[in-house]
């Protein structure tokens, strides 16, 4: 991607390694370290993932002057919730995916029972981390409680889970783009919007600033899902499970219309960030990255945020499978 300047790229890389280290620290100190469950948790969280949502929390938070040590517990908690959703989504009862992040999905590697528990444990761990008394001392109990409520709402029946269950209800049904967008705004958009809002709230943003960040996050979250659908549509032909009857943006719109929608959402993101000038460079580039990612193109920003890529196929994962 031509727009990425070296400083922004370095900033995104720094954020990512900070998050990777913090996740490593949280999980290695979570206890029960010798169990198969712990191994499954580390396998699913620590090895791969773009860390898109926690990077967003850091970048928005720093735009409003928040300190990294205040942002990190919430950024990591959001990533753990995201990882739990991926583990559960891959289970046979839902998407039935053999692959995740270029390797075997958690249930393929550890069995369904452990995968279920790993997802449950990650969701719970997220709340354990957010309610850490150290975070409360840093931010104050009222703010912590506000943030926990914000994150739980996004992951709830009013957010991610609600979107996921609506998707199941709509499978194999004909829907309009508007219905699909509403679903996507919950299933994928809610957690992404909250990742941005949590950064802003910790940074003390309120009123117009918080509203701007919210609109930026909503546009970004929807663009993220539409581009994921575009990538998926390339993948379906080689996917043993086919499209599983789930609604996909390309089943309600032509590819050109889908790309145009993504471009409009990108413009919305950039417009919302304009008042902050060059300080919002990382947030503009995150939005450009989402808009431009494609099935087989690895550009500079993908490298910067460490895209796991869908190009790694089952054979490669099987090759790496431990006996
Ligand atoms: C709780 C079962 C359950 C589901 C909630 C979010 C979700 C609904 C399911 C996850 C499956 C999925 C493909 C959702 C669409 C959102 C999406 C594109 C997820 C992949 O996120 P990335 O690209 O993944 O950020 P990495 O591996 O980089 O973290």
Handedness of CA 141, 213, 223, 251 (dihedral sign): positive
pLDDT in tens, 258-299: 999 999 999 999 999 999 999 999 999 999 999 987 433 334
Query: In this model, does residue 1 exceed pLDDT 70?
Result: no
Residue 231's pLDDT is 86
More confident residue, 310 or 62: 62
Tokens 């269950």 belong to which residue?
165
pLDDT in tens, 32-43: 788 999 999 999
Please tell me the least confidently modeled range out of 46-50, 143-147, 256-260, 293-297: 293-297
Is residue 310 a contact partner of residue 231, using CB atoms and an 8 Å limit? yes
Q: What confidence category does residue 302 fall into, taking pLDDT thresholds of 50, 70 and 90?
A: very low
Q: Choose one of 164, 166, 234 to mutate for the ligand 1 pocket test, by most ligand atoms within 8 angstroms of C-beta.
A: 164
Output the CA 187–ligand 1 centroid distance in Å.
8
Q: Which residues of 140-175 are buried (b: 16+ CB within 10 A; e: fewer)?
A: eeebbeebbebbbebbeeebbbbbbebbeebeeeeb
Query: In this model, does residue 219 exceed pLDDT 60?
Result: yes
Q: How far apart are CA 33 and CA 39, in angstroms?
A: 8
Query: What are residue 226's phi and psi, to 5 degrees?
Result: -65, -40
Residue 235's pLDDT is 64
Output the CA 86–ligand 1 centroid distance in Å.
5
pTM: 0.90
Round the average pLDDT of the chain to a whole number and report it.
88
Residue nearest to atom 23 of ligand 1 (CA): 50
pLDDT in tens, 188-212: 999 999 999 999 999 999 999 999 9
Q: Choose one of 187, 231, 244, 262 to mutate for the ligand 1 pocket test, by most ligand atoms within 8 angstroms of C-beta.
A: 187
């Amino acid at each position: 991607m031509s727009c990425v300047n070296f400083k922004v790229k370095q900033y995104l890389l720094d954020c990512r390694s900070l998050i990777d280290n913090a996740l490593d620290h949280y999980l290695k100190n979570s206890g029960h370290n010798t169990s198969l469950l712990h191994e499954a948790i580390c396998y699913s969280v620590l090895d791969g993932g773009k860390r898109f949502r926690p990077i967003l929390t850091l970048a928005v938070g720093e735009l409003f002057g928040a300190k990294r040590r205040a942002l990190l517990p919430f950024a990591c908690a959001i990533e753990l919730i995201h990882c739990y959703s991926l583990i559960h989504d891959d289970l046979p009862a839902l998407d039935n995916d053999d692959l995740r992040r270029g390797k075997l999905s958690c249930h393929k590697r550890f069995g369904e029972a452990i995968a279920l528990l790993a997802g449950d444990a990650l969701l719970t761990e997220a709340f354990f981390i957010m309610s850490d008394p150290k975070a409360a001392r840093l931010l104050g109990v009222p703010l912590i409680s506000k943030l926990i409520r914000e994150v739980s709402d996004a992951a709830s029946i009013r957010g991610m889970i609600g979107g996921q269950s609506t998707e199941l209800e709509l499978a194999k049904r004909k829907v309009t783009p508007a219905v699909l967008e509403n679903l996507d705004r919950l299933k994928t958009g809610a957690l992404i919007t909250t990742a941005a809002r949590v950064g802003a709230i910790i940074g003390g943003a309120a009123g117009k600033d918080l509203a701007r960040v919210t609109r930026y996050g909503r546009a970004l979250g929807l663009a993220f899902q539409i581009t994921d659908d575009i990538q998926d549509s390339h993948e379906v032909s080689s996917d043993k499970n086919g499209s599983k009857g789930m609604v996909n943006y390309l089943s309600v719109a032509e590819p050109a219309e889908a790309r145009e929608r993504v471009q409009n959402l990108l413009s919305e993101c950039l417009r919302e960030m304009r008042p902050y000038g060059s300080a919002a460079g990382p947030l503009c580039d995150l939005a450009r990255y989402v808009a431009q990612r494609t099935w087989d193109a690895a550009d500079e920003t993908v490298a910067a945020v460490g895209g796991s890529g869908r190009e790694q196929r089952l054979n490669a994962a099987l090759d790496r499978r431990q006996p």
